[in-house]
A and B are shown apart, each in its own frame.
Chain A
Amino acid sequence: MKTKEDFPEINARRPDGLKPEGTPYRVLIVDDSMFVAKQLNQILTSEGYQVVATAGDGLEGYEKYKELYPNLDVVTMDITMPKMDGLSALQKIMEFDKNAKVIMISALGKQDLVKQALVAGAKNYIVKPLDRKKVLERFLSVVGK
């Protein structure tokens, strides 16, 4: 009888959400929309990423970042949010940790806004609507594989 070991796993692919040593990249989602947070969570978890926390505004996002640091790999940051917008939260996070990997996610794709975010230290910028492919590609380019 053939066992599993008889078949080399030629199609096996390591999920992009896993680090080379096999543990998942840890993600913080900052978004005031329950729908977007859920959608991101589903996309990321399906590829092996681990969503460790969600924050509903920029201020909460900044505070959660400090709380979780250094056990955190990527942050997704909405822009239009109550209390503190995503650009301000991005700046705060970058001041706290200059190596932070923050991906902006917004329905706004205005060039100067994108530029402003990238200049402030964002590693990537995703314009909504979100789809699985778009999100995973940008994540992959940020976690650097």
Chain B
Amino acid sequence: MRVEYINPFVESAFNVLKEVLQGEVKRGELYLKSTSIPVMGVAAIVGLAGDVEGRVLFDMDKPTALKVASVMNGEELKVMDELVKATITELANMITAQAVTKLHELGFKFDLTPPAIFTGENMEVSDQDVEALIVPMETAQGKLEINVAIRERG
């Protein structure tokens, strides 16, 4: 996977998280995975289609999702309800869209699909023929992983 695709995601995740959570965000070391990867419990996914294709998965555990959604809504949310899911989905949407906007400016043309969210225990994700790059982000609310799998259309 070309590094040009990744930097905009790292940058926009950092910027958006900092803005919506109003706090410090630390970026962890990036790593590549080509086999199945466990998913922490709450995963929002946004698809990419155009010159390149793939998907971006935002993964975090349930307590982190609740804390992040609470900050974004300005109220304490204790259960994984529709509002929490909509909030995390929107977070994924904002980060992906900002990255897509940057990539667009660099000349890569593609669009994103409306996001979807999965919640559950013991989930894992596999991408055949596509390497996934993981960008870990540490926030005061907990750890989030941004898992990007993109390939050029051939």
* Interface residues of A, Cβ cutoff 8 Å to B: 32-36, 38-39, 80-82, 106-112, 127-129
- Answer whether residue B72 sits at the interface, using C-beta atoms and an 8 A cutoff: yes
* Interface residues of B, Cβ cutoff 8 Å to A: 16, 19-20, 72-73, 82-83, 86-87, 89-90, 93-94, 96-98, 100-101, 104-105, 112-114
Q: For the complex formed, measure the closest distance between the CB of A105 and the CB atoms of chain B, giving whole angstroms.
A: 11
Inter-chain contact A35/B98, CB cutoff 8 Å? no
Q: List 7 A-B contacts (CB under 8 A).
A: A35-B83, A80-B112, A80-B113, A106-B97, A107-B93, A108-B101, A111-B104
Inter-chain contact A34/B82, CB cutoff 8 Å? yes
Inter-chain contact A35/B73, CB cutoff 8 Å? yes
Given known contacts A80-B114, A129-B16, A109 and B101 CB-to-CB distance under 8 angstroms: yes
A36 CA / B89 CA spacing, docked (Å): 10
Q: For the complex formed, measure the closest distance between the CB of B106 and the CB atoms of chain A, giving whole angstroms.
A: 11
**Chain B residues whose C-beta falls within 8 Å of the C-beta of A80 in the assembled complex:** 93, 97, 112-114
Inter-chain contact B114/A32, CB cutoff 8 Å? yes
Inter-chain contact A128/B73, CB cutoff 8 Å? no
| Residue of B with least CB distance to A107 | B97
Inter-chain contact A33/B98, CB cutoff 8 Å? no
Secondary structure call for the B interface: helix
Secondary structure call for the A interface: loop
Given known contacts A129-B19, A129-B94, A110 and B114 CB-to-CB distance under 8 angstroms: no
Partner of A109, one of B73, B83, B87, B98: B98
Partner of B97, one of A33, A111, A112, A128: A128
Inter-chain contact B101/A35, CB cutoff 8 Å? no
Inter-chain contact B114/A81, CB cutoff 8 Å? yes
Given known contacts A129-B16, A129-B19, A129-B20, A35 and B97 CB-to-CB distance under 8 angstroms: no
A39 CA / B69 CA spacing, docked (Å): 12
A128 CA / B72 CA spacing, docked (Å): 13
**Chain B residues whose C-beta falls within 8 Å of the C-beta of A33 in the assembled complex:** 86, 89-90, 93
A61 CA / B97 CA spacing, docked (Å): 22
**Chain B residues whose C-beta falls within 8 Å of the C-beta of A106 in the assembled complex:** 97
The interface centre, meaning the residue of A39, A82, A108 with most chain B CB atoms within 10 A of its CB, is A108
A111 CA / B90 CA spacing, docked (Å): 21
Given known contacts A80-B112, A80-B114, A129-B16, A35 and B87 CB-to-CB distance under 8 angstroms: yes
A112 CA / B16 CA spacing, docked (Å): 22
What 5 pairs between A and B have smallest CB-CB spacing? A107-B97, A34-B86, A35-B86, A35-B87, A107-B94
**Chain B residues whose C-beta falls within 8 Å of the C-beta of A39 in the assembled complex:** 73
Q: For the complex formed, measure the closest distance between the CB of B104 and the CB atoms of chain A, giving whole angstroms.
A: 5
